[in-house]
Structure 1
Amino acid sequence: MNTVIIDYKAGNVQSLLFAIERLGFSAKITSNPDEISNADKVIFPGVGEASFAMNSLRETHLDSLIPELRQPLLGICLGMQLLCKDSEEGDTKALRIFDVSVRKFPDSVLVPQIGWNQIYDLKSDLFKGIPEQTYTYLVHSYYVAKNEHTISTTDYSEAYSTALQKDNFFGVQFHPEKSGILGSKILENFLKL
């Protein structure tokens, strides 16, 4: 199986690569459009600021390639948010795969949300073998409200989406590579889809 991790200068792709290798799989870190198009699985990570990340995608024309992909794609953290329509962070127009907006948490809660929180209402093969109320590791100040594409939920000021799915596109707000054994299982589930 040919798995690629998209490199667009917006995340720690090395820890994700190590997590995949610990599961017995291999992956290639690349920004090459041909390698991404021809992969069996695509992982779209992201850490940082939304407008900077989108500018990086535009410079490499990956902003037009990613929505056209037909193989399973997993967006992680900022990668999930960039799969949405837009973000309040930097007033950013994103990839528009999920027709939902990314909003900043209200001032009434501490941001960023850093640490472990539970996911529930799990609704996808991505969560095969994962119990309800599993703890995952999150670091974010922006969130996606619950919507028709929500496949897992977390509470922080309100119930919000910690995972999305539409067709071949999956997104998780949490970091599976930093979420212990069950996070690794979620990553493995994706690689086995």
Structure 2
Amino acid sequence: MSSAFTLSGINPRSIVALALFLQLLVVRENPIFSVAEGRKLHRRTIPTLKMYNPLIIKGPNSTQGFNAVQCAGPNPALPNMFGNIYCFDMPLLKKKRLDSELLGTVQGSWTATRLDGGTIVVSETFILTNKTSLGYRGTFSALGIENIGLKTSKPITGGTGDFELATGIAVTTPLGNVTIDDFGNAFFWFKYEFIFAS
């Protein structure tokens, strides 16, 4: 006479503990579940990328030609723009010319966070989704403090496509002084350098 296996004599907590232990073994042995292994599987190393960005802040009476606007802030306005929030959707260009090849866009916001001025917190996502001479497609983000008028850097915090699991530094360099365009907008040039970790 054969006896059937039953769970009546086993503590249910023991079964759960055994199942969790076995699951941990599977995860540990499978590289798909490991972030470190995922980084090793990244398709290719991305070299330092360089591109240019015209920042055009909407003037008080402007109705066109801008790519950044004040989207929030205290009323009445405070000195040094403290508390002002700006939103932007700006082109990323191959060269420092408005008619240069469009490599993508950068979208995000910045907030004036220092009472006596000069410091902003920037959150930005770089979108390189079109086929361009750059040779890379995808998105990645950067978040950090910038000192107005000075070369600054922010950490790159991952992305999609060719930039999946990417880390590194986004260096922003202001180029020249502000000018006012024909529509009354404040016009600035910046150079971005993206230095990706190996």
TM-score by length of 1: 0.25
**Which has the greater radius of gyration?**
2
Q: Which has the higher helix share?
A: 1
Q: Which has the higher strand share?
A: 2
